Chains A and B, each alone.
Chain A
Amino acid sequence: MQQLKALTREAQDLASSAPNRPAGGGQPKPARVIPLTPNEAEVARQMQICNACRYCEGFCAVFPAMTRRLEFPKADINYLANLCHNCGACYHACQYAPPHEFALNVPQAMARVRGDTYAEYAWPQAFGALYKRNGLTVALALAAGLALFLALVIGRAGSLFQAQPGGNFYAIFPHNMLAAIFGAVFAFAVIALGVGVTRFWRDVSPGAASGAAVGETAKNVLALTYLDGGHGDGCNEADDKFTLARRRFHHFTFYGFMSCFAATAVATLYHYLLGLHAPYALDSLPVILGTVGGIGLLIGPAGLLWLNLQRDPKRGDPAQRAMDRGFIALLLVVAATGLGLLAVRENAAMPLLLALHLGAVIALFATLPYGKFAHGIFRTAALLKSAIEKRQPNRLQLGSD
């Protein structure tokens, strides 16, 4: 707990020392001009052209936010990049896309900056480098997680292949031991992501959030509003055709994840509040939630992987493929081993599968702040900024074109 407190304090210090920006404007104080990275400069170049065209205003929140600005300094670029859902609509609709000499490819430019912002806002800062080689990060975390739990199983049960009557996991790992390991890793993930997103928030601070702004953000996050293309037909994958597949598979993934999370939370309450200890019956709430969530986490990531493989490669950042696919693969392993565990929990394969499952889960948790998962946190923050900002009067009075 000592350590946790210290981490939290450090987080707060970091957050409050971040550069402050005037509320409402979204423009930086002229005194502080931070040089742009090449990826950011490319977004600034493209936004300058987009801002003179504006045909894409109806697709998503990025372009309306753009029209409130005349210049695009670093923090604003980071904000816009995280607001972008990479739906692809603006790329396929762009009269200035390659081979035009203006060479606009907003989804790709935004994706590159987005990847950089995850690394840049990562906490601890040194861990930001993990994004750059995220495939390796995930693989190493998985290997370490598996090694840890396999060794623990062998050390404690003496064998990887020994049936436990009633499917009792806690015969292998005591509940408190699991709670301590996962609690610590999860708390670290929450703090690390919390620090990162707080710094991101402070960089373009649009002011206080109204209830309406929060409500709109919640809807945009939970319904994935901006994967509908603005017209409800969906987003683009392989070509200019619109499809709702990505939104639907993402819903399977997100709600599957939340259902699994709820299963764990309910089980924790059962354990500590009601004194009901696992293993739970097949028709108990934790098992039902976990099973439903696990199925969602098989369908969703499998669909997202399929879409990822056929998506127009020109539209994204190829350097982030390992991150995207690594996260998807990890979710699939967690879901498959979790469901498998339910199926074989009474027989001799259980200890091995349990070690595989827990190893994958710990790898997932440990890499949450340094992988694809972070997009959900930063995207939510960007959407909230946008919901606040759009409710404020526009400083610009640009007149008519």
Chain B
Amino acid sequence: MVDVLVIGGGNAALCAALMAREAGASVLLLESAPREWRGGNSSHTRNLRCMHDAPQDVLVDAYPEEEYWQDLLKVTGGITNEKLARMVIRASSTCRPWMQKHGVRFQPPLSGALHVARTNAFFMGGGKALVNAYYRSAENMGVQIRYQTPVDAIELKDGRFVAARSGSQRFEARACVLAAGGFESNLEWMREAWGVNERGEWPADNFLIRGTRYNMGVLLKYMIDAGADVIGDPTQAHCVAIDARAPLYDGGICTRIDCVSLGVVLNRNGERFYDEGEDFWPKRYAIWGRLVAQQPSQIGYSIIDSKAIGRFMPPVFPGIKADTLPELAQKLGLPEQTFLRTIEDYNAACRVGTFDHTALDDCHTEGLAPPKTHWARPINVGPFYGYALRPGITFTYLGLKVNEEAAVHFNGKPSDNLFVAGEMMAGNVLGKGYTAGVGMSIGTAFGRIAGTQAARAAAARQQTGVEHAAA
């Protein structure tokens, strides 16, 4: 019997496995995906939001605990647990040397991401390079790894972990860490969670999953059914507006559309529905997924003219291009008259001052509802471009309630040998909203805590001989 069983194969699982192994425990890690798809959503990540009181290698200035906490408080609208959130924040200031020891390398912010040079440490090569480094280190340290082993059931006894099952295979362990991700890949569950809207539509039918195809939420559902304490709203997720032509799964970062704030966004009826210039795009992209999800057919159309070209990050697919606005409306399949009237009204309402897409400039609309408060310039120089947008789900926030030891709870009582980390518990800290890099901060902090606690629990069980009594 191994000391610690880790279920999952992404960042949080690997952090847990490495910490448990470092503490002297024997560790078996079960990854549901085959090797080439290992790492879950971590393979799509690119940075870690880090507290720091002074400049560090790749981080400029300072990002003190209080500012980080206020940022988190703001994006979650207060739906967070301050004690756990502050643990994550403090852990983010000390975890990087440990990450580097296990082969993770950092680099200065990518072009187009200078706005987070102060707050976020970028992984050199992105999240898959991080995942590769952790797997190499785990293998070198003697962590056993099994791919294509999705766990479908957990044997529990009085709130204690006994064994995990994957089909006919059974894995006993003295302690266990659950880090198998959210349920975003499970389209049926997403459909059920979002239900039917007032138009009689099932919104989730039109969602794309930016992340892994392997987060089916089987383990999460099993634990909820087994009576584990739950936290979070099943419709809350990291949800951004992405290119409607993106693949159903694993579209990742490159499917984002960054020209929203440079033009207007229309719904299927050819009408605007939100202030496109409310704030810088990096501060707004995470709300546009939900905004589009609330529109008819869950689709939006970002419309720009030639003045915007070269002013936003290149999208992965070329935009729909037309020399005239009526032609663009036709090509996008939008009602031409409404489309043209919306653009005309917008153009007429624009009060153009000094355009500067790198600042909150003074170009705005007057007498238009909804207004566009910055970067408002008439859309009048062809060729014109349109990008269809869909809600893109990165990961869901519904999870298991934890304490500072990352213990799974049953009826308010913590399990003494079952722990949880990563997306399966991120909802404790992140009730809604998102701020770049915080998912990896939570996964790293709680992965490491869960691994340490699991190793400790395993050692305690071995000492007291509980396992013999249990067996």
Q: Residues on A close to B: CB < 8 A?
A: 48-49, 51-59, 64, 67, 70, 89-90, 92-96, 98-102, 230-231, 233, 240-241, 395-401
Contacts and interface: CB of A to CB of B under 8 A. Distances in A.
Given A230-B124, A398-B112, A399-B357, A240 B256 contact: no
Interface in B118-166: 122-129, 132, 136
B125 A401 contact: no
Contacts of A64: 111
A401 B107 CA distance: 17
Given A55-B253, A400-B115, A95 B126 contact: yes
A96 B44 CA distance: 9
Given A53-B253, A92-B129, A395 B310 contact: yes
B351 to A, nearest CB: 21
B412 interface: no
B125 A90 contact: yes
B132 A52 contact: no
Contacts of A98: 36
With most chain A CB atoms within 10 A of its CB, the pick from B103, B105, B314 is: B314
B357 A53 contact: no
Contacts of B315: 52
A399 B318 CA distance: 18
A400 B314 contact: no
A397 B358 contact: yes
Interface residues of B, dominant DSSP: loop
Contacts of A51: 314
A398 B312 contact: yes
Interface in B81-139: 103, 105, 107-108, 110-115, 122-129, 132, 136
B254 A57 contact: no
Max chain B Cβ within 10 angstroms of own Cβ: one of A48, A55, A64: A55
B310 A231 contact: no
The interface centre, meaning the residue of A52, A64, A231, A399 with most chain B CB atoms within 10 A of its CB, is A399
B125 A398 contact: no
Given A399-B258, A400-B282, A59 B247 contact: no
List 8 tightest A-B contacts by C-beta distance, closest first.
A55-B126, A93-B125, A58-B107, A52-B254, A93-B129, A231-B105, A52-B316, A240-B132
A401 B282 contact: yes
B32 interface: no
Question: Could you say which of A70, A240, A241, A395 has the most chain B C-beta atoms within 10 Å of its C-beta?
Answer: A240
12 contacts: A48-B314, A55-B129, A57-B110, A58-B124, A58-B125, A59-B124, A92-B132, A93-B126, A93-B132, A95-B252, A102-B247, A397-B357
Q: Among the interface residues A49, A51, A95, which one has the most CB atoms of the partner chain B within 10 A?
A: A95
B314 A55 contact: no
A226 B378 CA distance: 46
Contacts of A55: 46, 110, 123, 125-127, 129, 253
A93 B132 CA distance: 8
Contacts of B37: 99
Contacts of B114: 400
A89 B107 CA distance: 14
B43 interface: yes
Contacts of A233: 103, 105
A260 B132 CA distance: 41
Contacts of A231: 105, 107, 124
A397 B311 contact: yes
Nearest to A51: B314
B320 interface: no
A398 B110 CA distance: 12
B280 interface: yes
Contacts, number: 124
Interface in B227-257: 247, 250, 252-256
Contacts of B123: 55
B107 A230 contact: yes
A52 B136 contact: no
Give the interface size class of chain B.
35 or more
Contacts of B309: 70
Residue picked from B112, B125, B126, most chain A C-beta under 10 Å:
B125
A96 B254 contact: yes
Given A93-B126, A399-B258, A52 B107 contact: no
Nearest to A47: B314
Contacts of A101: 247
B280 A400 contact: yes
A49 B254 contact: yes
Contacts of A96: 252, 254
Nearest to A230: B124
A269 to B, nearest CB: 47
B311 A95 contact: no
A362 to B, nearest CB: 44
Nearest to A53: B254
B258 A401 contact: yes
Contacts of A94: 128
Given A96-B252, A399-B112, A401-B112, A70 B313 contact: no
B281 interface: yes
Interface in B266-305: 280-282
Given A58-B124, A398-B310, 5 more contacts: A59-B124, A67-B111, A95-B43, A233-B105, A399-B358
B292 to A, nearest CB: 18
Contacts of A401: 112-113, 256, 258, 281-282, 313
A98 B37 CA distance: 10
Contacts of B314: 48, 51-52, 70, 398
B246 to A, nearest CB: 10
Nearest to B256: A401
Contacts of A400: 112-115, 258, 280-282, 313
A99 B37 CA distance: 8
Nearest to B37: A99
Contacts of B126: 53, 55-56, 93, 95
A89 B254 contact: no
Nearest to A94: B128
B321 to A, nearest CB: 13
A142 B105 CA distance: 46
Nearest to A57: B110
B377 to A, nearest CB: 14
